[in-house]
Amino acid sequence: MITKISHLGIAVKNLKSAAEIYSKLLQSEPSKPEYVAEQKVNVVKFKIGESTIELLEGTSADSPISKFIEKRGEGIHHIAYESNDIRADLKSLGENGFELINKEPVAGSDNMLIAFINPKSIGGVLSEICKH
């Protein structure tokens, strides 16, 4: 079951400069940078209450984040929903007509399991299901 909004993913060109801006905005320090090989991104996070702002920097031209920035520029990339049973939620979403980018969860940051739903299924919003 989806239990809450986990985080907002924001695509950035330069992680260091974006982290400095968000540090000033949110008056807090980011997490240590993390490299997520499967997604080809560097990530830092800012905790805000129960949710997180996740800054994502592509590490290669074929990274989903690099491709997103090339096509649309920097900005909100996705919204992520926390699940307590990601496999059951993916099965249910597929059965209810949502087009899944990932039919099975893959590795994400912070040892999370993640899976994306095609934005065409949700009014143009790339959505992620994640489980810690």
Residue pair 28/47 in contact by the 8 Å Cβ criterion: yes
> Considering its fold, how many domains does the chain have in total?
1
CATH number of 69's domain:
3.10.180.10
According to the model, what pLDDT value does residue 53 have? 98
pLDDT in tens, 51-94: 999 999 999 999 999 999 999 999 999 999 999 999 999 999 99
Domain that holds residue 125: 2-131
The 8 Å CB, 24+ separation contacts for 84-91 are 84/1, 84/3, 84/131, 85/1, 85/131, 86/113, 86/115, 86/129, 86/130, 86/131, 88/1, 89/1, 89/2, 89/129, 90/115, 90/129
pLDDT band at 114 (very low <50, low <70, confident <90, very high): very high
Per-residue model confidence as pLDDT tens digits over 17-35: 999 999 999 999 999 999 9
